[in-house]
Amino acid sequence: MPKSSASIFAPNPKVPVSVMIPTLNEAKNLPRCLDHLLWADDVVLIDSNSTDGTQEIARAYGARVVNFQWDGYWPKKRNWALREAPLKYDWILMVDADEWIVPELAREVAEAIKSTEYVGFWVNRRFIFMGQWLKHCGYYPSWNLRLLKRGYGEFEQLTEVGDTGSGDNEVHEHVVPKGPTAYLKHDMLHLAFPTIAVFMEKHNRYSNWEAAVQLRGKHKLHTGIEANETLHGRRRLKNLSRKMPFRPMLRFLYSYIWQRGFLDGTAGFIFCRLLAIYEFLSVAKYKELLRFEHDAREANSLSEVPSFDLEAALQERGVPSAKEVVE
């Protein structure tokens, strides 16, 4: 497991960048995350009214807290923060509470924000699972546009559905830049799944998103992320996989064999099996949504209930409403 190295890079004066961290009850993860952000001059939590001491921890580190109350529509948390949050600097570094910015990357960020040529920078992530870096399984490289000049990009909207059942934060959406971008050399660490229970909890929510996007969504290929060939390739493959039978089994074989997950040993085998379970949940929930929609349409066709409201019926069953859109 990576060890904290916060004292290695804490310059004075600090780096003039605003670090944006979306949170909801992240008291367990937040201290290590903030340990690795002592170099940044402005750290801001966009918090969804946490009740576990997250806000108190943030303030103890000198970070600012902005409360976010989602209304079920777009934008969600990160996009709202890019538009509305009182951030001190134009350059924004987006970090999750379970991510660590290593000193080498922090130094690179300090140099990158001096750029007059680029409006954003892609950062690669190393996923840590069962105490080791997953170098394969299709989880590396994992590029995300995390350093962005404010006003030069927002998160894509992959579906017209507002509430996909995945919470108030963007799940798999990526930033669409409005200008040239470049790549940073050093990776951040992502400790997203400290336990298998955490993996299951998160992917239970993520599979809600997957099912809703497949039912209602327009999972677009061309949303402005084409500059990242790896990410664009994954998006194309994801869209293709939705049309294929035996998706859970194929997901395991793809991740474990084709993406060489077997080279990650026991951790790789377990992780690839979990990915197959996630794929199964996504398929099953999509089928469930189809059934709910079919039942609602059947009821709507009955003459004795001419005023039947399809969207209301779907919402009663927990299906996201297509009316929840951003104008």
pLDDT tens figures, 112-155: 999 999 999 999 999 999 999 999 999 999 999 999 999 999 98
Out of 75-89, 158-172, 211-225, least confident range? 211-225
Question: Cα-flanking dihedrals φ and ψ of residue 215, to 5°?
Answer: -75, -50
What pLDDT score does 41 carry?
Answer: 97
What does the longest C-alpha to C-alpha distance in the chain come to? 74
- Looking at the domain assignment, is residue 113 inside a domain? yes
Residue 280 has pLDDT above 70, yes or no: yes
Which position has the higher pLDDT, 252 or 215? 252
Confidence of residue 323 (pLDDT cuts 50, 70, 90): very low
Question: Cα-flanking dihedrals φ and ψ of residue 52, to 5°?
Answer: -105, 15
Sequence-ordered strand ranges (E) for 79-198: 91-94, 99-100, 120-129, 132-133, 143-149, 153-155, 175-177, 181-183, 188-193
Confidence of residue 5 (pLDDT cuts 50, 70, 90): very low
- Looking at the domain assignment, is residue 310 inside a domain? no
- Mention every residue, 6+ apart, whose C-beta is less than 8 A from residue 263: 135, 136
- Looking at the domain assignment, is residue 23 inside a domain? yes
- Looking at the domain assignment, is residue 48 inside a domain? yes
Which position has the higher pLDDT, 285 or 9? 285
Residue 214 has pLDDT above 80, yes or no: no
Q: What is the CATH number of the domain that holds 189?
A: 3.90.550.10
Confidence of residue 221 (pLDDT cuts 50, 70, 90): very low
Convert the pLDDT of each residue in 243-268 to its tens digit: 666 889 999 999 999 999 999 999 99
Residue 162 has pLDDT above 70, yes or no: no
- Mention every residue, 6+ apart, whose C-beta is less than 8 A from residue 159: 212, 213, 216, 217, 218, 219
Domain that holds residue 164: 6-194
- Looking at the domain assignment, is residue 21 inside a domain? yes
Residue 200 has pLDDT above 60, yes or no: yes
Give the mean pLDDT of 174-193.
94
- Mention every residue, 6+ apart, whose C-beta is less than 8 A from residue 201: none
- Looking at the domain assignment, is residue 25 inside a domain? yes
- Looking at the domain assignment, is residue 13 inside a domain? yes
Other CB atoms within a 10 A radius of the CB of residue 1 amount to 9
Residue 6 has pLDDT above 70, yes or no: no
Instruction: Say how many domains are in the chain.
Output: 1
Convert the pLDDT of each residue in 59-118 to its tens digit: 999 999 999 997 777 788 999 999 999 999 999 999 999 999 999 999 999 999 999 999
What pLDDT score does 206 carry?
Answer: 78
Confidence of residue 324 (pLDDT cuts 50, 70, 90): very low
Convert the pLDDT of each residue in 286-305 to its tens digit: 888 888 887 877 777 664 54
- Looking at the domain assignment, is residue 166 inside a domain? yes
In angstroms, the Cα distances linking 324 to 9, 29, 108, 162, 269 are 44, 32, 40, 5, 39
Other CB atoms within a 10 A radius of the CB of residue 263 amount to 12
Answer whether 31's CB lies under 8 Å from 45's CB.
no
Residue 228 has pLDDT above 70, yes or no: no
Rounded CA gap, 124 and 94, in Å?
A: 13
